[in-house]
Amino acid sequence: MSDHRGQEALLSSDSVLHRASERLTHAFAGMVNEETVERVVFESYAALGRTAAVQTHLPSLAEKFARDRLTALAQSRGFIAKPVPEVLYVCVQNSGRSQMAAAITRHLSEGRVHVRSAGSQPGVGILPSVVTVLSEWGIEVAEEFPKPLTDDVVRAADAVVTMGCGDACPLYPGKRYLDWELDDPAGLDLDAVRAVRDEVRVRVEHLLAELVPR
Give residue 142's pLDDT. 79
Give residue 56's pLDDT. 67
Cβ–Cβ contacts within 10 Å for residue 179, how many?
14
Determine if residue 111 is left, alpha or beta; phi over 0 gives left, psi from -120 to 50 gives alpha, anything else beta.
left
Give residue 86's pLDDT. 95
Across-strand partners of 161? 89, 178
Give, for all 214 residues of the chain, the pLDDT tens digit.
444 544 444 457 889 999 999 999 999 999 999 999 999 999 999 988 887 665 668 899 999 999 999 999 999 999 999 899 999 999 999 999 999 999 999 999 999 999 999 998 898 889 999 999 999 999 999 788 999 999 999 999 999 999 987 666 777 777 899 999 999 999 899 999 999 999 999 999 999 999 998 7
Sheet arrangement for strand 86-91 = 114-119, 86-91, 159-163, 176-179
Query: What does DSSP assign to residue 148?
Result: B
201 and 104 Cβ atoms separated by less than 8 Å: yes
Distance of CA 192 to the CA centre of its chain: 25
* Full-model pTM: 0.85
Give residue 49's pLDDT. 87
